[in-house]
Structure 1
Amino acid sequence: MSLFRRRDLRAQLSMHGPLLLVMLIMVLGFVRVLTAHWREGSVLLGGALLVAATLRILLPDDRIGLLAIRSRVIDVWCYTGFGLVMIALAVTITRATLTAP
């Protein structure tokens, strides 16, 4: 691989790395949900949103990539709010299964 292609690959990973991290956590959450561990999967999905909020706070706009949808403040509020609600719902649902009785 030429030096130019390596630099281009590093630039792409630098730009899309935060999104790839959040997507990896989300895929793990979906796998847990699909394997009948819905509570753990839901917590992972909520955690992915909290990771997105943290990355949105810490990284500059030129490195955040596709996690920047709106302004920084609105993105952080939305990611944090939805993440906390998802985790709270997953933790507080007390019924053992989600199937109908």
Structure 2
Amino acid sequence: MTAATANRWVRLARRNLPLLAVAAVVLVAVIFVLAERWRRGAFVFGLATLLAAGFRLCLPEEEVGLLAVRGQTFDVAALTAVGGAIVWLAVSIDPLGTG
């Protein structure tokens, strides 16, 4: 592997690191859902969405990779609204069978 190729892979990995971090948190959420812990899975999924909003807000356009879909204001507002709604729903729904 040449130095130019290695440098290209490092830049690609660095640029997509925020997306990989969000994907790892989503994977944890999926594992919770598959283990029949759907409320925890929904909560963690909401946190992953809020994490994506935080990355989009704090990192420059060059470093957020595929998390940049539209303008920064729209992306942050949409991700925060959806993530906040998911977290709120996950914590506000009473668990079944605890009447």
**How far does the alpha carbon of each residue in 1:29-86 deviate from its partner, in whole angstroms, 9 at most, with x for none?**
0110111011111111000010000000111111111101111000000100000100
Q: Which runs of 4+ in 1 moved over 4 A?
A: none
Match of 1:95 in 2: 95
Find the residue that maps to 2:33 and give its secondary structure. helix
Find the residue that maps to 1:62 and give its secondary structure. coil
Matches within 5 A, 1:10-21: 10-21=10-21
> Which 5+ residue runs of structure 2 have no aligned equivalent?
none
Match of 1:61 in 2: 61
Q: Which amino acid aligns with 1:43?
A: F
Q: What is the TM-score when the length of structure 2 is the normalising length?
A: 0.92
Identity within the alignment, %: 32
Q: Which amino acid aligns with 1:93?
A: I
Aligned residues: 97
Query: How far did residue 4 of structure 1 move?
Result: 2.0
Tell me, in whole angstroms, the C-alpha distance in 2 between the residues paired with 1:86 and 1:77.
Answer: 14
Match of 1:8 in 2: 8
Match of 2:84 in 1: 84
User: Considering only aligned residues, what root-mean-square deviation do their CA atoms show, in Å?
Assistant: 1.2
Query: How far did residue 15 of structure 1 move?
Result: 1.2
